[in-house]
Amino acid sequence: MTANVTAVNDRPTAFWLRLLEQRRARMYDEQLDLSVPITWDSPEEQQAAIRFFNAAFRAEESGLRQAHDIADEVASWDPELAQTLRLYGDEEGWHRELLTKFIAYLGGDIRPMGPTTGTFYKLYARAKRHETIVLTNLMFETIGATTYRLALRSAKSHPAVRQMLTILTRDESFHVPLNVHFLRRILEHGDPRALHRLRPLYHLLTAALMASAAASRRRAKPFDNIPFKTLARAYAEHLGRLFMHAEDFGLKPSRALLATVGLRRSDLMGEDDVLSVQAAERAADRTQVVVSAL
């Protein structure tokens, strides 16, 4: 790891806790403006939008529960980290509230998960080791931030859709480096072999998440208009970039997998403006929207 990356990325828990407290002070004042009704181009577009935000809702729900569960256990060895996890979980809870309102506004409701997604979340909910939960969550946050950012460019252009996607992009971008911090602290505290055990999971999840882009295209593309190749490549790029910039984890993306979407490791080395800690710091001030720089 270069000195610069360490200096930027490895902030103490107090730094993250302070940012979360600043964000909480403003969080509940931010309201969705749902005053302008949406005119859909087709019923397929509307249904795809409902499915897109249902997937987001499930991710929020899962993030909230896992963060609060871990917080209760972490409290015994690091109360400050536990409080940081709680405030992070509360942000996901706030997203869940916003999405509940937003999905109703789209003319939909919260739907039961499909069999594939349901199995995935059930397996995830059974994970017991903290490092497994946090790595999985970190990778979910990364693909969430990536999907929302791409959707902002190509999804239906409507002020309420833009506002919802902007909030999610901004906050999930903040959650990525925050979860890197959680993973570092949990690995420092726990079994030294834990990092070694994470490696196969990282590779498996990267491949599974790239494959999930195909399933999500069938369900959500009429709304977000993101082609499969663009999404799968963006997932590979950002899941890879994340760990190329946090070399201490030793989780390098597979060359073979990157090659399937036309990427090389060297393509991932440049500055990552969207998922960086600097972006997270900007996102701490909710009036400064990260996506404005896209």
Using CA atoms, how far apart are residues 141 and 92, in angstroms rounded to an integer?
Answer: 11
Shortest approach of Fe ion to residue 95 CB, angstroms? Answer: 4
**Residue 90 CB, nearest approach to Fe ion (Å):** 11
* Residue whose tokens read 């998922």: 275
Q: Of 141 and 237, which has the nearer Cβ to Fe ion?
A: 141
> Which one, 92 or 272, has the nearer CB to Fe ion?
92
**Residues 178/145, Cβ–Cβ less than 8 Å:** no
Residues composing the chain: 294
Summarize the chain as % helix, strand, coil (round to 5). Answer: 75, 0, 25
CB atoms within 10 A of CB 212: 19
Q: Which is nearer to Fe ion, 9 or 66 (CB)?
A: 66
Q: Give the pair of three-digit tokens for residue 109.
A: 């409701």
Nearest approach, Cβ of residue 259 and Fe ion (Å): 30
- CA gap 32, 231 in Å, rounded: 27
Toward Fe ion, which CB reaches closer, 95 or 219? 95
Q: Interface with Fe ion by CB under 5 A: which residues?
A: 60, 92, 95, 141, 172, 175
Q: From the CB of 260, what's the least distance to Fe ion, in Å?
A: 27
Minimum distance from residue 289 beta carbon to Fe ion (Å): 15
Q: Which is nearer to Fe ion, 261 or 274 (CB)?
A: 274
CB of 98 to Fe ion, least distance (A): 9
CA 28 vs CA 4, 90, 115, 257: distances in Å: 35, 11, 34, 41
Instruction: Tell me, rounded to whole angstroms, the distance of Cα 190 from its chain centroid.
Output: 24
Nearer to Fe ion, 23 or 175 (CB): 175
Which of 45, 172 has the CB closer to Fe ion? Answer: 172
Looking up tokens 């499909």, which residue turns up? Answer: 114
Least distance to Fe ion from the beta carbon of 137, Å?
8
* Type of residue found at 293: A
CB 58 within 8 A of CB 121: yes
Distance of CA 201 to the CA centre of its chain: 17
